[in-house]
């Protein structure tokens, strides 16, 4: 009897340890095969809609890469449960062409639910995406990160955490903040433009998806340009285009955005600090993005 009890205890300890050491990676490769890009994009969009997802945004940050941003009732419900949970509501799906091959991949909901401190689980959303799009493997980090690591993630000492965002003006009301941000993102000729607007039901949170594209008016704009950023960090297949679009969050009457030093490191945790594809190649980008967002938010004050 004592032996049986010890064996049962050992089994519980092994299971608990295995669960604690489970790792997650930032992206999921759903499919890759010789195919027509346009047909794959249309099929992906249709399959998502038929599975109950709503397409809230779609754009091509650069040639042969298109992003579909979707959500569903479950993702919205989970997002509404946390103070800054809006970041977990949109699901980003990438369709990209590489020669004759077309890849479909997406940002891993299980990875980001932990990194964004969500109180609920996106497991149901993850299962629905796998059923709808397929599943080959997770990617974006050789070893992956544990839930414990993700919940307190930062790239290295002195680097920002999830709760160290860029912070901007406080408006007189939530409604005014939403209106002003949306108005500015629809300004023609600006390097920042609107991809989607997502209100989280039952909360005073609205998340905006933002395209960042250099206009040529200012040479410093290259530092925020999406194509330029990916030319440094996204050098291996599968493509990691589902890093985009960047987000701006209106939370009550306050406006914020995740710090790039946190956000990019979270999506590319294995990248070195230096070298041809190191973060130092984008040394000016965090400041340029912050400046652009600050100008966006404060121009109307």
Residue 193: which domain range? 25-298
Q: How far is CA 187 from the centre of its chain?
A: 24
Q: Would you state the pLDDT for residue 219?
A: 82
Which residues touch 49 (CB under 8 Å, ≥6 apart)? 55
pLDDT tier, 158 (very low <50, low <70, confident <90, very high otherwise) = confident
Q: Are strands 101-107 and 137-139 parallel, antiparallel or unpaired?
A: unpaired
- Count Cβ atoms within 10 A of the Cβ of residue 41 and give its class: 0-12 exposed, 13-18 middle, 19 or more buried: buried
Is residue 119 included in any domain, yes or no? yes
Would you say residue 2 has pLDDT above 70?
A: no
Give the tens place of pLDDT for each residue, 22-64: 999 999 999 999 999 999 999 999 999 999 999 999 999 999 9
- Residue 208: both structure tokens together: 């905006």
Which residues on neighbouring strands pair with residue 104, listed in sequence order?
31, 95
Inter-residue contact 155 to 263 (CB < 8 Å): no
Would you say residue 4 has pLDDT above 70?
A: no
Q: What is the pTM of this model?
A: 0.92
Closest CA relative to residue 110, chosen from 16, 21, 24, 18: 24
CA distance 197 to 205: 11
Give the tens place of pLDDT for each residue, 113-149: 999 999 999 999 999 999 999 999 999 999 999 999 9
Inter-residue contact 266 to 240 (CB < 8 Å): no
Give the tens place of pLDDT for each residue, 84-111: 999 999 999 999 999 999 999 999 999 9
pLDDT tier, 9 (very low <50, low <70, confident <90, very high otherwise) = low
pLDDT tier, 69 (very low <50, low <70, confident <90, very high otherwise) = very high
Inter-residue contact 221 to 229 (CB < 8 Å): no
Is residue 52 included in any domain, yes or no? yes
Inter-residue contact 107 to 91 (CB < 8 Å): yes
Would you say residue 233 has pLDDT above 90?
A: yes
Is residue 6 included in any domain, yes or no? no
Closest CA relative to residue 185, chosen from 210, 151, 156: 210
Is residue 106 included in any domain, yes or no? yes
Q: Would you state the pLDDT for residue 157?
A: 85
Q: Assign residue 88 a region (left: φ > 0; alpha: ψ between -120 and 50; beta: otherwise).
A: alpha
Is residue 15 included in any domain, yes or no? no
Would you say residue 112 has pLDDT above 70?
A: yes
Give the tens place of pLDDT for each residue, 180-190: 999 999 998 89
CA distance 160 to 15: 33
Total domains present in the chain = 1
Is residue 223 included in any domain, yes or no? yes
Is residue 61 included in any domain, yes or no? yes
CA distances from 36 to 40, 96, 103 (A): 6, 11, 11
Would you say residue 12 has pLDDT above 60?
A: no
CA distance 83 to 291: 25
Is residue 20 included in any domain, yes or no? no
Would you say residue 7 has pLDDT above 60?
A: no
Report the CATH number that the domain containing residue 282 is assigned in CATH. Answer: 3.30.310.70
CA distance 243 to 289: 15
Q: Would you state the pLDDT for residue 5?
A: 57
């Amino acid at each position: 009897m004592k032996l049986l009890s010890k064996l049962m205890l050992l089994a519980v300890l092994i299971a608990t340890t295995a669960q604690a050491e489970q790792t997650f990676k930032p992206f999921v490769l759903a499919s890759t095969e010789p195919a027509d890009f346009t047909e794959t994009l249309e099929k992906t969009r249709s399959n998502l809609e038929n599975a109950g997802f709503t397409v809230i945004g779609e754009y091509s940050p650069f040639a042969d890469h298109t992003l579909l941003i979707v959500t569903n009732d479950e993702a919205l419900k989970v997002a509404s449960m946390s103070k800054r949970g809006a970041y977990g509501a949109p699901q980003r799906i990438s369709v990209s062409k590489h020669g004759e091959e077309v890849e479909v991949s997406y940002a891993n909901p299980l990875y980001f639910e932990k990194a964004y401190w969500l109180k609920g689980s996106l497991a149901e959303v993850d299962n629905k995406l796998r059923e709808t799009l397929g599943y080959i493997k997770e990617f974006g980090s050789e070893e992956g990160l544990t839930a414990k690591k993700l919940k307190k993630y930062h790239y290295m000492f002195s680097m920002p955490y999830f709760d160290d965002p860029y912070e901007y003006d406080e408006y007189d009301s939530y409604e005014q903040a939403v209106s002003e941000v949306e108005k500015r993102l629809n300004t023609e000729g600006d390097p920042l433009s609107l991809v989607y607007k997502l209100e989280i039901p039952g909360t005073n949170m609205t998340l905006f998806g933002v395209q960042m594209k250099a206009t040529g008016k200012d040479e410093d704009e290259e530092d925020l340009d999406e194509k330029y950023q990916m030319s440094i960090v996204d050098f291996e297949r599968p493509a990691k285009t589902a890093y985009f679009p960047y987000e701006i969050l209106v939370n009550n009457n306050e406006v914020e955005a995740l710090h790039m030093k946190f956000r990019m490191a979270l999506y590319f945790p294995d990248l070195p600090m230096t070298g041809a594809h190191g973060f130092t190649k984008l040394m000016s980008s965090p400041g340029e993005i912050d400046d652009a967002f600050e100008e966006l938010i404060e121009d109307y004050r």
